Amino acid sequence: MLWVKRFSGLVSAAMVMIVLSPSLQSFPPAEAIRSSHHDSHSPESNPADRFSFRQAPTFSNADKCGSAQPSRATSVCDPDLVHVAITLDVEYLRGSIAAVHSVLHHSLCPESVFFHFLVTEGGLEALVRSTFPELNFKVYYFDPATVRGLISTSVRQALEQPLNYARNYLADLLEPCVGRVIYLDSDLVVVDDISKLWRTGLGSRTIGAPEYCHANFTKYFTAGFWSNGRYASAFSGRRPCYFNTGVMVMDLVKWRRAGYTRRIERWMEIQKSDRIYELGSLPPFLLVFAGHVAPIEHRWNQHGLGGDNVRGSCRDLHPGPVSLLHWSGSGKPWLRLDSRRPCPLDALWAPYDLYGHSH
């Protein structure tokens, strides 16, 4: 895991200490499984041709992982799997690849992690396979038309992309046998064993995420929303807190049973006519789930490292243990590193970057 120590409130590369448990290092190779889904939606020009990634090291299960059988192809319905969903988008592809690399690097049982990649264009499956030859994964096509008529303008154009809303449809996209999934954004790295997050108890709740109850919750909605008694009453009987939807543990069985996708869509329809919020895909989740979220330790989402949605300024870390670093906001570490104007904490993302030549 990652422990962060700050001196006088300032963070620099020299002030960050990373201690990796020996149990989280790589093990000998093992057999992989392949996605049964092919790039049937591939355009004539492959978008992945723009990218060149180095092949990742082989990551294999430790002996204590139990019943794993490396020589046997794994089914997506295997009850021993840890399911992780993440989007693959050309603009954020470098971040997605780094996120996958970080999960594998720190996992005690990397062969037991199954990745569900959500795409809106073809040509990316082969890139993933060449970068991670031993990876358990499947690619799912998300039709942009599903949400195109529901998306409203946001404070940042990236928040208006259809793939940003694919998390709303995981219960429909993934196989019915997948009852739980961890959703991860593309601009983060995991620095702890993902199975610890997977084992989080949700109780009666449908989703779990780190909550931030000190945040000014009212700012996520317009004055018109709060002045409308019918809309504001959506939070009656709840103690709503802000949570970041970039890291969530989701119970898909409960989600399907309650029809939460349609509930989110309904708020997006209201937004199109009444403009009740300014931020992309987050507010509908808050409207449906805030106050009904299973709390997860803050260490699992040190978010905001990309600054705000306009300037993308450098941010500091909160003190204490950290299991996941999240560059939410407009500043992305790969862009800042390439421009030779990185923030100090971007140095913690760089070791997982497989793009181009070695660092």
Whose structure tokens read 């092919």?
38
Nearest to 301 by CA among 216, 189, 180: 189
Q: Is residue 34 part of a domain?
A: no
CATH number at residue 287: 3.90.550.10
- The average confidence (pLDDT) of the chain is 85
Q: How many domains does the chain have?
A: 1
Tell me what the mean pLDDT of segment 97-117 comes to: 97
Q: Give the per-residue pLDDT at 41.
A: 45
Q: Does residue 240 surpass a pLDDT of 50? A: yes
> What pLDDT sits at residue 34?
30
Alpha-carbon distance 214 to 80, whole Å? 37
Domain holding 154, by residue range, is: 77-303
pLDDT of residue 93: 95
Instruction: Examine residue 190 and state whether it is found in any structural domain, yes or no.
Output: yes
Q: Is 32 domain-assigned?
A: no
Burial profile 78-99: b = 16 or more Cβ within 10 angstroms, e = fewer: beebbbbbbbbbbebbbbbbbb
Q: Is residue 9 part of a domain?
A: no
Please report the pLDDT score of residue 32 as a whole number: 28
The stretch 328-352 carries a mean pLDDT of: 94
* Closest among 167, 278, 263, 272 to 218, alpha carbons compared: 278
Q: Is 12 inside a domain boundary?
A: no
Match 């971040």 to its residue by tokens. Answer: 95
For residue 138, being part of any structural domain is answered with: yes
325, 349 in Cβ contact below 8 A? yes
- The answer to whether residue 286 is domain-embedded is yes
Structural contact between residues 131 and 98, judged by C-beta atoms closer than 8 angstroms: no
Helix, strand, coil % over all residues of the chain, rounded to 5: 35, 15, 50
pLDDT tier, 310 (very low <50, low <70, confident <90, very high otherwise): low
Residue 70 has pLDDT above 70, yes or no: no
The verdict on residue 326 lying in a domain is no
Q: Which tens digit of pLDDT belongs to each residue from 160-214?
A: 789 999 999 999 999 999 999 999 999 999 999 999 999 999 999 999 999 999 9
Phi, psi angles (nearest 5°) of residue 147: -120, -5
| 246-271 pLDDT, tens digit each | 999 999 999 999 999 999 999 999 99
Are 278 and 155 a contacting pair, CB within 8 Å?
A: yes
